[in-house]
Amino acid sequence: MASKDGGREFLVLFAHHNMYFNMRFQELQALAALLGVSAQELYAEAKPTALSASMAVLVRLPGGEADAKKICERSVLVKAILEVWAQGSQWTEVVEACLAQTELRRQRRQYLAPPRSICLRVESFGKTMTMEEKTAVMETLRPLFDGDEVVDLRDPDTTLWVLEEHSHRSDEKTHLGKRTRPPQRVVLGRQVAGGRSTDKKLKSGEKCFFHRYDLSKRAVLGPTTLDNELSFIMANCAGVRSRQLGMDPFCGTGGLLIAMAHFGAKLFAGEIDIRVVRGWRIAYTKNKAAMLDAARSRGLAKGPIPAADATQAANECSGSCDSASSWSLQYLRGLGLPLAVADGAGASKAPKQPNNHNAKAEKDPALTSAGGCNIFTNFVQYGFPSPEVVVCDNAMPPWRGVARGWLDFIITDPPYGVRAGAKKSGRDETKKQVVIQDVSNYIPSKVSYGEEELSEDLLTFAAASLVDGGKLVFLVPVDLADFLGIDRAAVEQDNEGARPNFHDICHPKAGRKKDPRLCVSETTRDPLLLDESRYVDFIPQHGSLQLLGASLQVLSGGLGRLLVTMQRRPR
């Protein structure tokens, strides 16, 4: 389709992702911005919001099919991008419209005529079509073809989408029988780019790049490792590109860093818990084979450890290396591990391992000899350069200040007390004072890090360290009761009228009193939850940062989280 200004229009078809469907426009606009297309120029219709239940939107891409393919190469939520041939309220209208377009029909013949092969993909949104219904639709479309077309269901040159869109909000219950309402619209279009493995059944189909990093295949994980798809959505919202400098000040086990590294950025990270970085108890081995392969690829050599090259591999291995294999010095230095000094007798002596190492590695000699569960192993697994990780406190960042900023983007998932408590360095004055006996091995005590204080510190750091135009992408926890007008203090037991924090909401002292009004489905279309204009009151603000967009993910227990994108204003 051609727009009035001569640009090309395409129909972007989204995957109906149960968890991240509300984020689809935020990601699409960020990817279009990478192509130089603003949100005002992108949409060929009125700018949509999360309140829209449609799985498709009409956009204008100046670069044509090349831009469409670039978007699908990076997008997580785009299922396919189509060149619309005709649309209407029923298939007879589509057939009549196509037959009336005499000149366009001749041009489209190049995609259908032999020796090119074709495939019809009949899909329905909001309704499950039977095979009989699909066959009837294809029979209705028969006049559009000359009869000499070559059909190839496994590896077609042209894929035609035959799409029906039905309303999701319907009084008709599917368990009482078939839906009889006609579709809202029907669309016939040619696929110009595919995403999310829309062609996974085809021999040469376009595959999802992020499937390679699936958590089930990753070498090392932690209990709070961010979901793989959400990590890439956040990286897309930040517009991560090669040769940029990026950071995660709450890196944990590095789930977000992996997504950033995929796009070729140079990475820095901060983490207050040394156990997470070193892989002591907190992290665990998910893919043992991948972890062992990653270790061997970085210099695992057979033979005894030379006395001069004795290391603290036992600390990282959660035990002593066996006689069959040992770490090379180059690998250990690459991870930034300090080298132990041999004793006077020439034998290597590793410091005694504290009783906080990984329990699984302790039980498995193979894991012991392979080097433990530190987060750097994942970067070795995927062949990425290791990030620069500093064990530090976000409340007292150690990073050197630069007048014009030094980071292109910051992407992070701050802890908010549900599965991982937010901590900062400090001492509880009510407790007994501790005398430090060994400064070199002392780990500073920590105290609770308030939600508002954490957000204020994060935004202050972003405003100081981001370059002009740099992006801050982070997750903000929200209580859905605030959106729905429910008094959470009255719902939760033993709250004494005080507004509970997120930890108290999930773990009330006297047990949870379930309120049916807070049992919200993750696929809800409630306007009270999806109205983006209401999010501003729940998002921390900073005068130097401009809010670009926010979208809601509904979680269990009446909680949710906002995906927020901010941009550094010009200095």
Pair type for strands 78-88 and 185-194:
antiparallel
For the CA atoms of 25, 31, 33, 38, the dihedral, rounded to the nearest 10 degrees, stands at -30
Alpha helices, DSSP H, located in 287-355: 288-297, 313-317, 329-334
pLDDT reported for residue 301:
33
d(C-alpha 299, C-alpha 429), whole Å: 48
What is the rounded average pLDDT for all residues in the chain? 80
Output phi, psi for 567, to 5 deg: -130, 140
- What does the pLDDT look like over 21-39, one tens digit per residue? 999 999 999 999 999 999 9
d(C-alpha 196, C-alpha 76), whole Å: 7
d(C-alpha 441, C-alpha 433), whole Å: 18
- Is pLDDT of 377 > 80? yes
What number is the average pLDDT over the span 477-489?
84
pLDDT reported for residue 387:
94
pLDDT reported for residue 255:
93
- What does the pLDDT look like over 214-236, one tens digit per residue? 999 898 888 888 999 999 999 99
- Is pLDDT of 67 > 70? yes
d(C-alpha 24, C-alpha 560), whole Å: 17
Which amino acid is located at 287 in the chain?
A: N
Q: What separation in angstroms does the CA of 483 have from each of 185, 496, 507, 518?
A: 32, 22, 21, 11
Q: Give the number of other CB atoms < 10 A from CB of residue 105.
A: 14
- Is pLDDT of 336 > 90? no
Token representation of residue 384: 């990425």
Which amino acid is located at 517 in the chain?
A: R
Q: Lowest mean pLDDT of 176-185, 232-241, 385-394, name the range.
A: 176-185
pLDDT reported for residue 188:
96
For residues 466 and 224, the model is more confident at 466
Q: How many helices (H) and strands (E) does the chain have?
A: 20, 18
For residues 416 and 358, the model is more confident at 416
What number is the average pLDDT over the span 534-541?
94
Sign of CA dihedral 541, 554, 450, 272: negative
Displacement of CA 58 from its chain's centroid (Å): 24
pLDDT reported for residue 498:
55
Q: Which residues of 533-558 are buried (b: 16+ CB within 10 A; e: fewer)?
A: eebeebbbebebbebbbbbbbbbebb
Q: For the chain, which residues make up each domain, given as ranges? A: 8-207, 215-389, 393-568
d(C-alpha 157, C-alpha 110), whole Å: 11
* DSSP secondary structure letters along 114-174: TTSEEEEEEEEESSPPPHHHHHHHHHHTGGGS-S-PEE-SSS-SEEEEEEEE--SS-S--G
Quote the percentage of the chain above a pLDDT of 90.
Answer: 48
Token representation of residue 529: 């939850």
- Is pLDDT of 413 > 70? yes
Which amino acid is located at 84 in the chain?
A: V
Burial label, 508 (beta-carbon count in 10 A; 0-12, 13-18, 19+): middle
- Are 444 and 425 in contact by the 8 Å Cβ rule? The answer is yes
Q: Can you say whether residue 89 is alpha, beta or left, with left for phi > 0 and alpha for psi between -120 and 50 degrees? A: alpha
How many residues are listed for the chain in this entry?
A: 571
For residues 366 and 179, the model is more confident at 179
- Is pLDDT of 61 > 60? yes
- Is pLDDT of 180 > 80? no
Nearest to 72 by CA among 205, 220, 247: 205
pLDDT reported for residue 157:
92
What number is the average pLDDT over the span 156-160?
93
pLDDT reported for residue 181:
77
Sign of CA dihedral 341, 344, 347, 353: negative
d(C-alpha 146, C-alpha 129), whole Å: 26
pLDDT band at 502 (very low <50, low <70, confident <90, very high): low
Topology annotation, domain 8-207:
VC0802-like (3.30.2130)
Output phi, psi for 165, to 5 deg: -120, 120
What number is the average pLDDT over the span 357-366?
45
Local structure of 519: helix, strand or coil: coil
Q: What separation in angstroms does the CA of 190 have from each of 134, 243, 462?
A: 18, 35, 43
- What does the pLDDT look like over 254-305, one tens digit per residue? 999 999 999 999 999 999 888 888 777 777 778 888 877 777 776 543 333 3
The number of C-alpha atoms within 13 Å of 474 and in the hemisphere containing its C-beta is 29
Task: Report the DSSP beta bridge partners of residue 271.
Answer: 391
What number is the average pLDDT over the span 338-357?
43
pLDDT reported for residue 457:
93
What number is the average pLDDT over the span 505-512?
61
pLDDT reported for residue 408:
97
- What does the pLDDT look like over 78-111, one tens digit per residue? 999 999 999 999 999 999 999 999 899 899 999 9
- Is pLDDT of 365 > 70? no
